[in-house]
A and B are shown apart, each in its own frame.
Chain A
Amino acid sequence: MAQPPFIEIQHLRKTFKQHLVLNDININIEYGDIFGIIGKSGSGKTTLLNLLMGFLKPTDGHIVFQSRDIENDMQNVRQQFGFTAQEGSFYPKLTVRENMEYFGELYNVTPRELKEKIPRILKSFGLEEAEHVVGYKLSIGMQKRLDIACGLIHDPKVLLLDEPTENLDPVLRREILNLLRDINKKKGVTILLTSHLLEEVEYICNKVAILHRNTVLASGTLNQLKDLYTKNMEIHLETTSGNYSKLLPALKKRNDIKSITPRDRGLVIYTPKPEPVLKFALDFLTHNNERLLDIGIEKPSLNEVFESFTKDKEIKEKVEKK
């Protein structure tokens, strides 16, 4: 008999007065998933997280956690869920340790447990030296780590993160994502995060739900989504010269190429027929004595999947309106 999902969102609907924010949301999250909810601003991502935490009550539908409706199990949900807000949720005038002690006690962690736990968390989050530094004096990256540490102080089974890498530079972003991946792997914490930065979702998440205009357009593993929602493949091509002035016009003459996008020193060619295009490109470069540095066929990025799907949806809506 199949295990029920760890978290199951069933026909969830949320309105604020007359304003529909979420409509018929159905998502299953398994234990150990790093689940990404992607969507444009205002698509209802944060509302969905608030509903998951029980901070808001659904207008319709249910959220089931470990086979129990969270509405009837709120204390347990709050104890089992950790949360990290977009802008950080700690006291800037308390030190790192004081924040952790404070939130630890709020989450029913005993002082003895805290004494043992805090040094370990500080070490794993690289905050040891900042233990007695007040929050506002920390760097942005450290503040984000402190925020996540506060969310994990009570060893939650689920960690909810709202735009966790928002306002971070690429290095810090990657650092935080790696940290989350470690938490997921080492502690088995199921992670649910929202983001509109699709590259990072693609980097860290094993499952994704696309939220668009109040509803989930699709959810599943990245590969499932890519298979479902795009017919194009990506050919990544890079030459030593980085000069594509001859190749680009030749490629554009072909009917089987959807689009070509420059990326770094190379090109990304979107095509439903990658093999003939790849062969053409190789022949062309050989003929023109261009040395190939890198070439490969990849499935399209999440970005393309997202764009492809949301465009389809918008077109469908326009047709329906007409």
Chain B
Amino acid sequence: MKLFQIVRKNYKLLIRSKSSALVVLLGPLILMLFISIAFNTSSLFDIRIGAYAESYSDLSESLVQQLQTDEFKVAKTDSQESCIKGVETEQYHICAIFPKDFSIKSQESIVFYVDKSKVNLVYIIINSISSRVSVKSSELSTALTTTLVSALNDANTRINEKKPLIEGVSNNLQATATKTDKVAADLQSLDLAPVGAANFTAIALELELVRNQTGSASSAFSKLNSLISNVRTNLESTSYKLTNVVSIRDASVAELKNIRDSILTDKVNTQEIQSSLTTISQSINAIEIKDVQKIVTPVTTEIKSVSKETTHLGYTFPTLLVMVIMFSCIFLASTSIIDERSSKAYFRNFISPTQSSLFVLSHYLFSLFIIFLQLFIIFFIMVYVTKTDINALLSRFVVLLFLISSVFILLGMLIGYVFKSGETANIGAISIAVGLLFFSNTILPLETLPPGIRNIAELNPFVISENVLRKVTLFNESLTNMMGSLALLLSYIVAFAVLTYISREVSSRRSV
């Protein structure tokens, strides 16, 4: 059968060119191996950080230590300029400038200088460094908050301890006030009114009369009179003193009233203090979250994958696989077409009674056979090494890989027929493959593209292929749920097949 004869011929031509066969067959496998090793980690390696501070504080030293880990190498520079220059000259990936004597009280912040032209690296570094600084910042915050919380707890304890004292003070004040009232009342109740005024004149007259009547010695009466006079004087003095006592008592009573009022005011104040302390204590007690970690990071986030947990390679496997398929298919198909076109026998093929479509079909089948051989090896290794069970996915994988390979094989064949020489075809193949790669999520997310271009890029067969393969691999999606994407892939296959056929016809005329 002609078809198989042509396929067999292509296969023989491939294996007889040993170097080509090795490149075609082993190239993608080796590529896949290296990619697997290289991409099976999301860590950064050998990131060089330049650091400068006019004078290093404990905090800045601590931060430098925090950054100095396996993946980061920190080098202190002599000046800010040399640190920044180091980033420009790629001596450092990032330059960290610490404020002089940096402490938590500092108002200034740490400044990182990066080379934003390295778009694919800079954000990873910023993210990594920010998270490390954030760790230190979080440590400090935790320490400060711990002090704060401890102080509050201590205050609360003390308030609770001293509450009875304050209550005692309040009660004492009340008692004192009561006592003061009583003392004031007692004082007030003292009768200090002067005893009725003695009629010393009458007493003197009476004495005189007695003396006269008795004849007593006037000296005795004089003495008595003197005594009475003294009594009178004393009485008068006492009366005067009593008057003073009354006035003092009244003043004291008034003072006592003032004291009582003051005590009562103090009591009220004490009660207010007591109430405030109770409120403070209640407020402190009312704080539900006293866990320092909770206060420092009140909102904790946890990222969970919607797909089943797998290795980093597992997540990137669909992309890597499509990448390998795309490059293999485009290069294999375009190279085999160019080899055929530049072959001496090309002309004899043309003039034979064989349909062009048969040659197109045979080249397609040949390339498909080689690609599936490679894929078989890749999957065999994957299953053997990772012990992955792909039985459940196998039928869907075969359908998808058939469609994806077909798209890129036909694209490669089209390139082979459109370009005139091997060199231009290779440049064309590289340009197209790289173009498809650029306008996909592999290098930068499509979301970074302007909407118009993004809409076009979403029709990129690489993007579609990657999506469908990822959905099946990671989400176990059924083919019926991806009919839109599959229809697009089929459309590409039809379009590329027609264009390839036309290109072959045109190129045959050109080759004369």
Residues of A near any B CB (own CB < 8 A):
47, 50, 53-56, 75, 78-79, 81, 83, 85, 87-94, 98-99, 101-103, 105-108, 134, 150-151
CB-CB under 8 A from B344, the residues of chain A are 85, 87-92
The segment out of B314-322, B346-354, B430-438 that lies at the interface is B346-354
CB-CB under 8 A from B352, the residues of chain A are 78, 103, 106-107
CB-CB under 8 A from B105, the residues of chain A are none
User: Given known contacts A78-B353, A91-B13, A134-B16, is B347 in contact with A106 (CB within 8 Å)?
Assistant: no
* Contact present for B5 and A105 (CB under 8 Å): yes
Partner of A90, one of B12, B345, B508: B345
* Contact present for A83 and B12 (CB under 8 Å): no
The CA of A81 and the CA of B348, in the complex, are separated in Å by 11
Within 8 A of A (CB), among B443-487: none
The CA of A177 and the CA of B177, in the complex, are separated in Å by 149
Residue of A nearest to B349 (CB): A106
The CA of A92 and the CA of B354, in the complex, are separated in Å by 21
B17 within 8 A of A: yes
What sequence of 0s and 1s flags, for each residue 1-20 of chain B, a beta carbon within 8 Å of any chain A beta carbon? 11001100100110011000
* Contact present for B17 and A90 (CB under 8 Å): no
User: Given known contacts A88-B344, A105-B5, is B351 in contact with A94 (CB within 8 Å)?
Assistant: no
* Contact present for B5 and A101 (CB under 8 Å): yes
* Contact present for B343 and A91 (CB under 8 Å): yes
Partner of B354, one of A50, A55, A106: A106
B343 to chain A minimum Cβ distance, whole angstroms, is 6
B512 within 8 A of A: yes
Partner of B353, one of A47, A79, A93: A79
* Contact present for A107 and B353 (CB under 8 Å): yes
5 contacts between A and B (CB under 8 A): A79-B353, A83-B351, A106-B2, A106-B6, A106-B348
* Contact present for A93 and B347 (CB under 8 Å): no
B250 to chain A minimum Cβ distance, whole angstroms, is 138
* Contact present for A89 and B345 (CB under 8 Å): yes
Partner of A93, one of B1, B17, B348: B17
* Contact present for B347 and A89 (CB under 8 Å): yes
CB-CB under 8 A from A151, the residues of chain B are 348
The CA of A89 and the CA of B346, in the complex, are separated in Å by 7
Partner of A75, one of B2, B16, B349, B353: B353
CB-CB under 8 A from B354, the residues of chain A are 106
> By CB atoms of chain B within 10 A, which of A78, A83, A85, A106 has the most?
A106
* Contact present for B13 and A150 (CB under 8 Å): no
Which 8 residue pairs are nearest across A and B when measured between Cβ atoms?
A78-B353, A89-B348, A106-B352, A105-B5, A93-B16, A79-B353, A91-B345, A106-B354
User: Given known contacts A79-B353, A102-B5, A106-B5, is B348 in contact with A90 (CB within 8 Å)?
Assistant: yes
CB-CB under 8 A from A50, the residues of chain B are 512
* Contact present for B348 and A103 (CB under 8 Å): yes
Within 8 A of A (CB), among B152-197: none
CB-CB under 8 A from B349, the residues of chain A are 106
CB-CB under 8 A from B512, the residues of chain A are 47, 50, 55-56
> 16 other contacts beyond A83-B348, A91-B343, with CB at 8 A cut-off?
A47-B512, A55-B350, A78-B351, A78-B353, A83-B347, A89-B347, A90-B344, A90-B345, A91-B344, A92-B344, A93-B12, A102-B9, A103-B345, A106-B2, A106-B352, A107-B352
A85 to chain B minimum Cβ distance, whole angstroms, is 6
A192 to chain B minimum Cβ distance, whole angstroms, is 14
* Contact present for B350 and A108 (CB under 8 Å): no
Residue of B nearest to A160 (CB): B351
The CA of A311 and the CA of B436, in the complex, are separated in Å by 61
The CA of A94 and the CA of B2, in the complex, are separated in Å by 16
CB-CB under 8 A from B2, the residues of chain A are 105-106
B335 to chain A minimum Cβ distance, whole angstroms, is 14
CB-CB under 8 A from A47, the residues of chain B are 512
> By CB atoms of chain B within 10 A, which of A79, A85, A102, A150 has the most?
A102
CB-CB under 8 A from B508, the residues of chain A are 55
CB-CB under 8 A from B343, the residues of chain A are 91-92
* Contact present for B13 and A94 (CB under 8 Å): yes
The CA of A85 and the CA of B353, in the complex, are separated in Å by 17
The CA of A282 and the CA of B348, in the complex, are separated in Å by 56
B448 to chain A minimum Cβ distance, whole angstroms, is 48
Within 8 A of A (CB), among B226-280: none
A79 to chain B minimum Cβ distance, whole angstroms, is 5
CB-CB under 8 A from A92, the residues of chain B are 343-344
Residue of B nearest to A89 (CB): B348
A234 to chain B minimum Cβ distance, whole angstroms, is 40
Residue of A nearest to B5 (CB): A105
User: Given known contacts A50-B512, A79-B353, A106-B2, is B17 in contact with A150 (CB within 8 Å)?
Assistant: no
B166 to chain A minimum Cβ distance, whole angstroms, is 107
Partner of B9, one of A79, A91, A107: A91
Partner of A85, one of B9, B13, B16, B348: B348
The CA of A214 and the CA of B12, in the complex, are separated in Å by 43
Residue of B nearest to A85 (CB): B347
Residue of A nearest to B13 (CB): A93
The CA of A105 and the CA of B345, in the complex, are separated in Å by 14
* Contact present for A150 and B353 (CB under 8 Å): no
Residue of B nearest to A77 (CB): B353
The CA of A98 and the CA of B5, in the complex, are separated in Å by 10
> By CB atoms of chain B within 10 A, which of A50, A85, A89, A151 has the most?
A89
